């Protein structure tokens, strides 16, 4: 039984349509939009008392429509409905890291251990372990006055100092009247505060927050947080992204592409190698096989930053395509709320949503059952605003303690047939500032990552120019743009060669084509199976890029096209071996000397 739910029925079911139910209140308690209610089916053969969780979507008088997060088999007219009195919320506190939750924050490992791998419906388990002990260390004294979100103390959660903060729903200033140090569970009080009205409130290690209410907006309204302008890139250790199409730390990006183009693989590598503190993976509607692979692989992988398990900094929200549609729609909100919580501690959080197309399809199904007026391709008319509302929760925020945290969101989009003109992709493109368009043609050629440099773009390249000037080179952005122009010119020459043959282009254009092909082969492509090339630090990217720029800027003279082709073939082989060599090792230096000699000799 959910500890926050009532035990007295205050409404009853009057209609059922798939996972949408209509209910009528008895008048004892008012119905509230987005309130969580529990349905007790009178039919069925369950071995335990089923209480199906639902959320009110629409109210008309003393009646309402609600979406049920479970199968509605056995639910009938007249079944009792219990109102919880709270919005759809998640538990926030120590013990989140390393967990695998469903879209409603039920711990799947605990569910599996208690009920087996065929999960029963109507089960609602606490998200945080009620028996685990945490060593709480206060950082304030009695008499200290604090605002919502300010730290009272901390506990050690894996490798992070997990801040225990004043509840986010507190208005005005609060005074600490009692605080203790010691080993406690998440339910035991560690402090007491006196609110501005004189009422006192006990503080435990955990608190709850409604997932559909942006945490950052609540803090901004109370003048506790300040939103900052993103001024540094998210370093992913993928050359194509970091150099050409960067995503700001606290920014937004999307990875659209057709089936088989490598969206999940690319997203997985970003999760493993990005320079962030916390990674939240939201699998909303992906096939169960892919999700199981992620769940089984992450605990075995080494975090390159610490040498520990990758799960020590990871939370997985799992709602596969075989799980209830309504819970899939809630899963992104659950993941973002957890990300906002850790951002409030001053940590850098990366949220990866796979895929927002299936999340939007869940909204479409619910909207259709509510008989709302459809928009383009039967998606709800509010699709665009819903997508914008999701991505707008990313950002850089300075908190009440003066620490700055960030939440970066990258969503994958799965347009049917690779059609980037469909509504979900178009709404996403109008919202995000980095577009990493995957190409089926490049994936077919075994180019990895299969991001098409002629389709993709990043609005952060100019925005982050001061960081590039300070950390890399004064003219970094200008050089990157010149290489992008080279790639576009090289593609045009390639198209001419396909029509007229190599003899139909000038020597200058042929060399341009060879240079563009060379950049594509040695810099845009990256070997995900090589332990060195899979993750490239920013300083190594700079060194390699400057070496390539030296070649491009050189006045290359060739006797004929065969001479040029042989030269670039040899150079490509040396560069590929350079990518596989450990940075600054003897092998790396020897290959570097050969490349420098070859560039100077022509």
Annotated binding site for ATP: 257-264
Both tokens of 530, joined, read: 């090589």
Q: Give the residue ranges of DSSP H helices in 239-280.
A: 239, 263-273
Kindly provide the b/e burial profile for residues 299-312, where b requires at least 16 CB atoms within 10 angstroms of the residue's own CB: eeeebeeeeebbbb
Q: How far apart are the first and last CA of the chain?
A: 77
If one counts every other C-beta atom within 10 angstroms of the C-beta of residue 336, the result is 27
CB 174 within 8 A of CB 146: yes
Q: Comparing C-alpha atoms, which of 237, 157, 258, 247 is closest to residue 542?
A: 237
Q: Where is the binding site, in residues?
A: 257-264
Both tokens of 504, joined, read: 């139909």
CB 68 within 8 A of CB 56: no
Integer Cα distance of 349 and 395 in angstroms: 10
CA dist 49 to 40, 41, 109, 126, Å?
A: 8, 9, 21, 17
Both tokens of 412, joined, read: 């994958």
Integer Cα distance of 122 and 40 in angstroms: 9
Both tokens of 325, joined, read: 């549609």
Which residue, chain included where needed, has tokens 């308690």? 29
Integer Cα distance of 53 and 122 in angstroms: 7
Integer Cα distance of 461 and 480 in angstroms: 9
| 500, 501, 502, 503 alpha-carbon torsion, rounded to 10° | -70
Integer Cα distance of 370 and 34 in angstroms: 15
Instruction: List, in sequence order, every beta strand (DSSP E) within 314-424.
Output: 314-319, 348-354, 395-398, 404-413
* Class of residue 8 by CB neighbours under 10 A (exposed 0-12, middle 13-18, buried 19+): exposed
CB 316 within 8 A of CB 99: yes
CA angle 257, 263, 266 (to 5 degrees): 135
- Contacts with 151 (C-beta within 8 Å, 6 or more apart), sequence order: 139, 140, 163, 164, 165, 345, 401
CB 102 within 8 A of CB 318: yes
Strand duo 182-184 + 134-138: pairing: antiparallel
């Amino acid at each position: 039984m959910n500890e926050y739910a009532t035990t007295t029925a205050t409404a009853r079911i009057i209609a059922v349509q798939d996972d949408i139910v209509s209910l009528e209140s008895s008048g004892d308690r008012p119905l509230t939009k987005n309130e969580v209610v529990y349905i007790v089916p009178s039919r069925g053969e369950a071995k335990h008392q089923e209480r199906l969780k639902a959320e009110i979507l629409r109210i008309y008088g003393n009646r309402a429509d609600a979406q049920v997060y479970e199968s509605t088999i056995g639910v009938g007219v007249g079944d009792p409905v219990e109102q919880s009195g709270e919005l759809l919320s998640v538990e926030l506190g120590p013990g989140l890291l390393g967990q695998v939750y469903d879209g409603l924050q039920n711990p799947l490992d605990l569910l599996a251990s208690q009920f087996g791998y065929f999960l029963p419906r109507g089960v609602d388990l606490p998200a945080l372990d009620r028996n685990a002990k945490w060593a709480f260390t206060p950082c304030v004294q009695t008499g200290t006055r604090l605002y919502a979100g300010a730290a009272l103390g901390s506990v050690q959660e894996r490798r992070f100092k997990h801040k225990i903060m004043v509840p986010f729903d507190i208005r005005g200033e609060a005074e600490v009247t009692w605080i203790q140090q010691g080993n406690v569970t998440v339910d035991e009080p560690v402090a007491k505060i006196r609110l501005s009205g004189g009422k006192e409130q006990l503080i435990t290690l955990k608190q709850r927050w409604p997932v559909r209410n942006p945490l950052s907006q609540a803090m901004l309204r109370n003048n506790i947080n300040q939103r900052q302008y993103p001024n540094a890139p998210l370093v992913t250790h993928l050359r194509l992204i970091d150099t050409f199409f960067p995503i700001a730390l606290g920014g937004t990006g999307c990875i659209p592409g057709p089936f088989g183009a490598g969206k999940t693989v690319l997203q997985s590598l970003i999760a493993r190698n990005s320079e962030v503190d916390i990674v939240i993976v939201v699998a909303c509607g992906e096939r169960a096989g892919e999700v199981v692979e992620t769940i089984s692989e992450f605990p075995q992988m080494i975090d390159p930053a610490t040498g520990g398990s990758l799960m020590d900094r990871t939370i997985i929200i799992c709602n596969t395509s075989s799980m209830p549609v309504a819970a899939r729609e809630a899963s992104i909100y659950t993941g973002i709320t957890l990300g906002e919580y850790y951002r409030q501690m001053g940590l850098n959080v990366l949220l990866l949503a796979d895929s927002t197309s299936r999340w939007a399809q869940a909204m479409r199904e619910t909207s259709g059952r509510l008989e709302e007026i459809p928009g383009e391709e039967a998606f709800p008319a509010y699709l665009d605003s819903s997508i914008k509302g999701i991505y707008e929760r990313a950002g850089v925020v300075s908190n009440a303690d003066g620490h700055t945290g960030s939440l970066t969101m990258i969503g994958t989009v799965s347009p049917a047939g690779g059609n980037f003109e469909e509504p979900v992709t178009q709404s996403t493109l109008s919202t995000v500032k980095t577009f990493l368009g995957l190409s089926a043609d490049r994936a077919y050629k075994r180019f990895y990552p299969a991001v098409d440099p002629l389709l993709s773009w990043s609005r952060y390249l100019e925005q982050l120019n001061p960081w590039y000037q300070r950390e890399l080179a004064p003219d970094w952005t200008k050089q990157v743009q010149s290489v992008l122009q080279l790639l576009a010119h090289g593609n045009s020459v390639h198209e001419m060669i396909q029509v007229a043959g190599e003899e139909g282009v000038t020597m200058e254009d042929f060399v341009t084509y060879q240079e563009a092909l060379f950049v594509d082969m040695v810099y845009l492509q990256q070997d995900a199976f090589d332990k060195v090339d899979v993750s490239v630090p920013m300083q190594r990217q700079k060194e390699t890029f400057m070496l390539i720029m030296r070649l491009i800027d050189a006045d290359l003279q060739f006797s004929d096209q065969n001479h040029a082709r042989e030269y670039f073939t040899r150079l490509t082989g040396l560069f590929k071996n350079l990518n596989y060599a450990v940075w600054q090792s003897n092998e790396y230096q020897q290959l570097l000397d050969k490349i420098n000699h070859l560039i100077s000799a022509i």
